[in-house]
Amino acid sequence: MVSTPDSLPQPGQPQTRLRAAVIGAGYWGPNLARNFKSGPDWELAAIVDMDLARAQKIAGPLGDVPVYPGLAELLDSTEVDAVAIATPARTHHVVALQALEAGKHVLVEKPLAASRELGLQMVDLAADRGLTLMADHTYCYTPAALKIRQLVADGELGDILFIDSVRINLGLVQPDVDVFWDLAPHDLSVIDFIMPGGLRPDTVAAHGADPLGTGKSCVGHLTFALPNNAMAHINVNWLSPTKIRRMVIGGSKRTLVWDDLNPQQRLSVYDRGVNFEKVSTTPAQRTAQAISYRLGDTWSPALPEKEALGLMVAEFAASIREGRPSRTSGAAGLRVLNVLEAASRSLADNGEQSFVAHGNVQLEGIR
């Protein structure tokens, strides 16, 4: 079934609430805690952080939710159905394995893990235990991304010819990852979400620059092929004084522009493009190019005002209850990891094409 805002789990459906704990009280943890607290599907059972004072600052306004210094203390003290991991990427693997071993469903902030190998271990263990492993690819649950997925699935754009995504701003230089691992997962997860068949390029090429001498790429360009000889390009940048969040999806019928910073018109669909036909001009069937340009209307789809994180935690609950993979499953997180690892290899090889690891196709149906 096509994912649309209306087809996602909707608030207000009375059921026994699931109990969740948020692991990590840093940048993203408070957002997760707030949505688990306010969502009708969940009871926020605990917040876990080594810095108890930081955890208590979040827990107090949410009703003095219990806090614990570690996952082991949580598991020894209270019953939970699931944990949401919002710790540094290098720790996702060990925390997720500990939770899965304890029989808990797991939601993991992007990226799924620090490497494909570690991500595979998480996905395999979840499959063995019959548990839901879900990647928190939040942008996939925005009303805009859900609408784009619907338009692509319905053939409204035609065949995809190119995707060009720009995600730049004056951002925080991360201590443990480069700009590709920090920002590109958002764009890669959306491409995986909207493209039929998901994100499966054979090779990628990445070019990065470190003009500040930080020891990691602060500016980057990532390119890879899409089906039918189409192409995707992602531009990420920590150093731009201008913030841009824009994705352009060019199709054979129409072109769509998603401007995430324009709340009045996030999506614009342009009935404009290039028509190309091959025309036989001689008995020998030589072909000439017949090109014409189409200039039609522009329209903006109406989008509901719903918080992406609220839809995401509702989807997490639905996937657990229905025993099905979530729309951003562990397998989806692994596909994004595959591309990020190939991008890192390409960077180390001065931008040469790098093969993307695939395989383990049996994982596509896992939870």
Q: What is the pLDDT of residues 162-194, one digit of tens each?
A: 999 999 999 888 888 899 999 999 999 999 999
Q: Check residue 3 and give its pLDDT.
A: 40
What six digits make up the tokens of 132?
């839901």
Give the DSSP H/E element, type plus range, for residue 294: strand 287-299
Higher pLDDT, 120 or 174: 120
Instruction: Say whether pLDDT at 53 is over 70.
Output: yes
CATH of the domain at 44: 3.40.50.720
Report the pLDDT value the prediction gives residue 367, as an integer from 0 to 100: 41
| For range 312-337, the mean pLDDT | 96
Secondary structure, 3-state, 71-83: HHHHHHHCCCCEE
- Portion of the chain with pLDDT greater than 70, in percent: 89
**pLDDT reported for residue 281:** 57
Q: Minimum mean pLDDT among 22-36, 130-144, 350-364: which range?
A: 350-364
Query: How much is the pLDDT for 295?
Result: 78
With respect to residue 317, please indicate whether it lies within any of the assigned structural domains: yes
pLDDT of residue 288: 52
Task: Report the range of poorest mean pLDDT among 42-46, 157-161, 168-172, 275-279.
Answer: 275-279
pLDDT recorded at residue 363: 40
**pLDDT tens string 201-254:** 999 999 999 999 999 999 999 999 999 999 999 999 999 999 999 999 999 999
The pLDDT of residue 76 is above 90: yes
Is the pTM higher than 0.85? The answer reads: yes
Instruction: Count other C-beta atoms under 10 Å from residue 114's C-beta.
Output: 20
252 found inside a domain:
no
What is the distance between the alpha carbons of residues 205 and 140, in angstroms, rounded to a whole number? 24
- pLDDT band of residue 366 (cuts 50, 70, 90) is very low
Percent above pLDDT 90 for the chain: 82
- List, in order, residues 6 or more apart from 230 with CB less than 8 Å away: 159, 160, 161, 162, 163
Report, as an integer, the average pLDDT of 52-80: 95
Question: What is d(CA 89, CA 157) in angstroms, rounded to the nearest whole number?
Answer: 36
Q: How confident is the model at residue 365 (pLDDT cuts 50, 70, 90)?
A: very low
Structural domain contains residue 186: no
Q: Would 121 be classed as within a structural domain?
A: yes
What DSSP state is assigned to residue 284?
T
With respect to residue 172, please indicate whether it lies within any of the assigned structural domains.
no
Picking from 33-42, 201-210, 265-274, which range would have the lowest pLDDT averaged per residue? 265-274
Q: Domain range holding 67?
A: 18-138+309-330+360-365
Q: Give the C-alpha separation, 142 to 305, whole Å.
A: 9
pLDDT over threshold 60, residue 33: yes
Q: Is residue 62 part of a domain?
A: yes
Could you tell me which of 61, 27, 66 has the C-alpha nearest to residue 47?
A: 66
How many structural domains does the chain have?
1
Average pLDDT over residues 66-92: 95
Average pLDDT over residues 114-139: 96
In a domain, residue 274? The reply is no
Who contacts 63 (Cβ-Cβ below 8 Å, separation ≥6)? 37
Q: Give pLDDT, residue 364.
A: 39
Determine the longest span between alpha carbons in the chain, in angstroms.
83
Q: Among 343, 164, 362, which residue's Cα sits nearest to residue 249? A: 164
Establish if 342 belongs to a structural domain: no
Cα–Cα dist 69/50, whole Å? 4
Give me the residue label for tokens 């470190």: 210
- Residue closest to 24 by CA, chosen among 48, 8, 59: 48
Asked if residue 291 has pLDDT above 80, the reply is no
83 near 106, Cβ under 8 Å? yes
